Homo-oligomer: A and B are copies of this chain.
C-alpha cells in the first residue's frame, strides 16, 4: 500500500475541479495529511500547512500525492519536475494520471536510485473479463451524474458513512483515482481497456449474499460526450438496485466543454434508469444529491426541498446536510 502520511499536491492551477483528488484525500483521509505543496501561482488551498517537498519530508510525509487532474490526465513538464523534486527529497510519489509515472525515465531512475516507489493507481487489474450482465445477488447503489466532478465520490462515501453509522454493512467501491487513494482499493474504470468496462465493475462489486450494500462510485455522465461510454459500461456492470443522481446547481457548462450545457436533471435521471434496466430491470431512484458549495446555506436548503418535491424523492447536499433522508428512504428498517 501507499505509505502515509501524505503531502498533497496542488501545483499551480486555479481550477478548483483540477485538484479534486488532493481535496478528496484531505477530506476523507484527513488524519494522514501533513501539508500541501503549491506554487506561488496557485490561489488555492486545502487549509493545510503549505510546505516545500523538503519541509513535507521533514514533517514526516512519506508520499507526495500528485492529486491533480485535467481532462485526459496528462503528465505535464511541471508535474514531472515537481515529482522529481519530491523523490530527491525522499518522498514516494503516487499519481492517478493516465500517463504513468513509471514511464518517465527521469522519475523511474530517481526512484530506483533512492529506493523509493512510484504508485500509478490508475493501473487496471490484470486478468479482466468482459461483462456478462448475468443477474447477481446483493444490494448495489450507484451514483450517477449530470456531469463529471459533481460530487459522485463524495456522495458515495457519505452514504457509506451513514449506512455504517446505522449498523448496515456497506462497502464503498472506488472507480476513480481519488476514490482508490482514499479506499486503498478499486478500479480506475476510465483506464480499463474499453472492451472490459462493464466486466471490470462486475468484478469490483461481485455477488453479495448478506443484506449489506455495495456503494459504487459513478464516473462521468451519460450526457458528457467525452466520457459517456465509460458511464454506460459502468452502469451496466454495476447492475444497480438503486441510483442516486448527483448534480451541481448553477454549473455553467459541462466540465471541459464550454460549448455544452449541463443536461436537465429529469432527463438525466430518466436516461440513467432506462439504460440501467438492461441489467437491472427493477432499478429505482433512491435520491438526488446536490453539490451546493456555491450557494448560501438557506438557498441550498430551499433548493434541496424544491428538488425533493419536484421528483418526489429525497434530496440533500451530503456535505452540508448529510445523507440521512436517502438512507431513511432506502433502508426504512434502520
**Which residues does A use to contact B, with CB under 8 Å?**
71-73, 98, 129-134, 189-199, 222-223, 225-234, 236-237, 256-257, 259-260, 275, 278-279
Contact = CB atoms under 8 A, between A and B. Distances in A.
Contacts of A131: 225-226
B232 A228 contact: yes
Contacts of A234: 229
Contacts of A260: 133
A134 B129 CA distance: 33
Q: How many copies does the complex hold?
A: 2
Contacts of A132: 225-226, 257
A189 B194 contact: yes
A73 to B, nearest CB: 7
Contacts of A199: 226
B134 A259 contact: yes
A194 B190 contact: yes
Contact of A197 (B98, B194, B222, B223): B194
A223 B228 CA distance: 15
Nearest to A220: B195
A228 B231 CA distance: 10
A274 to B, nearest CB: 8
A194 B229 contact: yes
Contacts of A259: 133-134
B190 A133 contact: no
A228 B194 contact: no
A190 B192 CA distance: 10
A153 B259 CA distance: 33
A228 B198 CA distance: 9
27 contacts: A72-B196, A130-B256, A132-B226, A133-B226, A133-B260, A190-B193, A191-B194, A191-B195, A192-B194, A194-B194, A194-B229, A194-B230, A195-B226, A195-B227, A197-B230, A198-B228, A199-B226, A223-B278, A225-B237, A225-B278, A228-B232, A228-B236, A229-B229, A229-B230, A229-B233, A229-B234, A232-B232
> For A194, A197, A225, A230, which residue has the most chain B Cβ atoms within 10 angstroms?
A194
Contacts of A198: 225-229
Nearest to A131: B226
A218 to B, nearest CB: 13
A186 to B, nearest CB: 15
Q: Which 4 A-B pairs have the closest CB atoms?
A: A229-B233, A133-B225, A190-B195, A197-B229
A175 to B, nearest CB: 11
Contacts of A71: 130
